[in-house]
Structures are given as structure tokens and as C-alpha cells.
Amino acid sequence: MRDKILTEKSFYRALLTVAIPIALQNLISFGVNMMDTVMLGQLGEVQLSAASLANQPFFVFSMFSFGFAAGGSVMISQYWGKGDTAAISRIMAIGLKFVVVLSLLVTALVLCFPEAILRLFTADPEVVAEGVRYLKIIAFSYFFYGVSNCYITSLRGVEQVKISVVIYSVSFVINVIINYIFIFGAFGAPALGVAGAAVGTLCARISELVMSIVYMERFEKRTGFRLRHLFHKMDRLLLGDYVKTSLPVAFNEIAWGLSTSVHAAILGRMGASVVAANSIVNVVTQLAFIFLFGLSNATAIQIGKAVSSKPAGYVRKMATTMQLLSLGVGTVGALIVLAIRKPVIGLYNIAPETTAMASEMMIAAAVMTFLISVEVISTMGVLRGGGDTKFTFFIDVFFIWAVATPLGAYFGLVAKVAAPVVYVLLRIDSPIKTVVSFFRIRSGCWMRNVTRDESELAAE
């Protein structure tokens, strides 16, 4: 076994150096969403529902923009392994240009048709009216979020992750303070209600971009990227590589995001108690997955760096190591879910029937947490980091939409089986993808060096 896994401490140190800050960033984002929910919940169900539904356009935009940034990060990590910072700067410029155009298009669409967009999700006139107030402000945050998030995600490719914790920590404090002031009208400010939450988020997004630009122009040294690079002519070869690598990741994120909404709708049609139980389960699983997604991102970066700079045998050992680590991470995640199951459920004032259902679904969630952990490290970590983004996109979309979603819909809405069974069926794609990705990784055909020689890029 020692011949098949990595044992040097430097590898694990580098892995945790990236994984922990990303996990902290995810924890901060979770805290922001939680605080928004708590504050708006004080105003009533209409305001809470309005903000939740009005954030659906942002959810789709964030999935797409993250896909572009994450796809670019795959290329950046491989060029980082080669030490080609000139190519990294050009890739970052390409990604930022894509995100700028996308953010401006989505902003214009939302500002022009806010009511029509909200009516896609609800027919309640009160919710629509409140949601329009929220959308007309929050739409201006898309540009600031898109640019800063793309920049910060790109920096992950060169293992520069600590700055993201600083930026998001500061923006979290700004968001909470301004939310409190303008939602409730504190310190003599106008009480804007749901619009106040939008003001708080907008100010936080602006602060993120300002801090990103200051860091970019004054302190960042690994990539050498500066704002002026946005105005340089795009490299045709790198642009083609970027599109081939990033588009599958972007559409992968969109497909996953849409499936999340569809799955929520399936469970929603099974009754109010199922919706309440599922909401509680989601809070717990989000906490359990915070470190997992940090580790999967770190895996993708380390694998990407190794693909372009290490022998294939070393990369195989790295992949095997991460697959074994995923078993441990999955076990810990499952135990966390089981350990906090009763205390978390006890925080909610819900009917005995809902309590029992939430408890059963939490047990199912613990099992799925283990299986999802193994799958995520293999697909989002090893395969995506290795440049195998098209294959990852294919298995994700196929098994989610052709297997898990139809099974969950049939057994939940037609056969009407118990909610915990439907919960498992809606996530049955994960164990299938684990098996498929295991054989894919063993084949070795996933290692795709997407970099080009400096001489080739210079000739361009």
C-alpha cells in the first residue's frame, strides 16, 4: 500500500494549506446566508419568501460564473505547475472578461423584467411586490460579485487562498451591520425591510471588489495579474483552450444547480412536513460538507499542478491517496451528521410527525454524506483537476437527470414511498458516479495536460 500512496508530509501540508482557507470561506458564506435568513425571518414569511425567490437569478448566475472561474482555475493550476505566470495572467484576463459580459447581461435582464422573473416562481402578489423591491437593488451586485469571485477563485489555482478568508470575513461584518441598520431602521436610518437586506448585500459585494482590486494592484505577486491586462488582446490559442476546459465546468454547475431546485420541488409536493424536514436536513449537510468542498478544491489544484510537472506515476499515486482520504472524510462527515442530529432537530418547534421524519431523513443523510464525499473528491477533485472536465460533465448530467431525478420523481409523486427513501433516490447518482469514476481514474486516461509550451504561445 505504501507504494501506491503518497507519504511525504509536504504533500499533506500543501493540501491542508489550501483546503482549510477554502473551508473557512465556505463557512463564512454559510454564515452570511444564515444571518440574512434570521433577520428577514423577523419581518415575516412574505419578506423571507420574497428574498429567497428573488435570489434565484443570482443562484443561476453564481453557478455559471463559478463554472467559468473554476474551469480557468484548472488551467491556471497546470500552468502554475510549469511556472508559466505569463500564461496565467492571460487566462485570468480571459475569465474575467467572460464574467464581466455575463454579469452585465444578467443585470440588464433582471432590471428590465423583475416582475416577470419573479412570477416564474410564485403567483402571490405580495411576495412578487416585495421581491421586485429586492431585485431592483440586488441586481447591481452581480457585477461586483462576479468580478471579485472570479479573481479570488483564479488565485486558488496558484495556491493563494488566505486572502479570500480576509476579504469574505470583512464583507460578512459589513453585510451584517448594514443589514441590521437598513432592515430594521436602526440609528435613525430608514427601515427598508427586504430592500434593506439587498442594500447590505450590495455594500458587501462592493467591498469585496474594492479589497480584491487593492490586493491585486498592491500586494499580489504570484500571478502578476493587474487590471491593465483586461485591455490586452486575447490570446487565440489560450481562448480556445479556456472555452474547451471551462464550458463543461460551467454547464456542469448549472445542471447541478437546476437539479437542486427540481429536487426541492419534488419534495415540496410531498407535503409541508417533508419540506420542513428537508430544510433541517439541508442545514446539517451544508455544515458537514464545508470541509469536503474545501478539500475537493484543494485536490483539484494539487492534481492540476502535478499533471503538468510530475511523472504520470506520481499523479496516479496522488489520485489513489485522495480516494483513500475521501473514505476518512466521508466517515467523519457521516458521524457529524449523526452526532448533531437530535440537538439540531430539537432547536425547531415542529410537529412530532415532522420531528420523526427529520430524524429518519438525517440517518439517510448520514449514509449519503459518506457516499457523496467519496464521489466529490473523485469527480470535482481528481478528474476535474486532471483536466477531464468533459467526462465529469457527462457523468454528472447523465446520472442526475437520467437516473436520480426520474427515480425520485416517480417514487415520491407517483408511488408515494416514504420521504427518507425519496431523499436517497434523489442522490443515488453519487454512488453510481463513485464506481464510474473509480474505473476512470484507474484507466489513467483522465490525465490531460491542457497547457502549451511558451514558444507556442509566444509565436501566437
pTM of the model: 0.86
Task: Output the pLDDT for position 457.
Answer: 67
**Least trusted range by pLDDT, from 10-14, 202-206, 257-261:** 257-261
pLDDT in tens, 39-69: 877 777 678 778 877 888 888 888 888 888 8
Task: Output the pLDDT for position 459.
Answer: 53
448 assigned to some structural domain? yes
Query: What value does the mean pLDDT take over residues 237-253?
Result: 89
**Least trusted range by pLDDT, from 171-185, 205-219, 339-353, 421-435:** 339-353
239 assigned to some structural domain? no
151 assigned to some structural domain? yes
177 assigned to some structural domain? yes
State whether 75 and 223 are in the same domain: yes
State whether 215 and 307 are in the same domain: no
State which of 234, 250, 272 marks the end of a domain: 234
250 assigned to some structural domain? no
State whether 229 and 278 are in the same domain: no
State whether 174 and 26 are in the same domain: yes
4 assigned to some structural domain? no
State whether 44 and 81 are in the same domain: yes
Q: Based on the structure, what is the number of domains in the chain?
A: 2
State whether 301 and 362 are in the same domain: yes
State whether 419 and 321 are in the same domain: yes
Task: Output the pLDDT for position 455.
Answer: 65
- Determine the structural domain holding residue 351 and report its residue range: 258-460
405 assigned to some structural domain? yes
For residue 321, pLDDT beyond 90: yes
For residue 105, pLDDT beyond 90: yes
State whether 17 and 78 are in the same domain: yes
State whether 22 and 156 are in the same domain: yes
Q: For the chain, give the mean pLDDT.
A: 89
Task: Output the pLDDT for position 395.
Answer: 95
For residue 346, pLDDT beyond 80: yes
State whether 49 and 187 are in the same domain: yes
State whether 267 and 172 are in the same domain: no
State whether 292 and 386 are in the same domain: yes
3-state secondary structure labels for all residues of the chain: CCCCCCCCHHHHHHHHHHHHHHHHHHHHHHHHHHHHHHHHHCCCHHHHHHHHHHCHHHHHHHHHHHHHHHHHHHHHHHHHHHCCHHHHHHHHHHHHHHHHHHHHHHHHHHHHCHHHHHCCCCCCHHHHHHHHHHHHHHCCHHHHHHHHHHHHHHHHCCCCCHHHHHHHHHHHHHHHHHHHHHHHCHHHCCCCCHHHHHHHHHHHHHHHHHHHHHHHHHCCCCCCCCHHHHHCCCCHHHHHHHHHHHHHHHHHHHHHHHHHHHHHHHHHCCCHHHHHHHHHHHHHHHHHHHHHHHHHHHHHHHHHHHHCCCCHHHHHHHHHHHHHHHHHHHHHHHHHHHHHHHHHHHCCCCCHHHHHHHHHHHHHHHHHHHHHHHHHHHHHHHHHHCCCHHHHHHHHHHHHHHHHHHHHHHHHHHCCCCHHHHHHHCCCHHHHHHHHHHHHHHHCCCCCCCCCCHHHHHHC
7 assigned to some structural domain? no
Task: Output the pLDDT for position 273.
Answer: 79
Query: What value does the mean pLDDT take over residues 315-321?
Result: 93
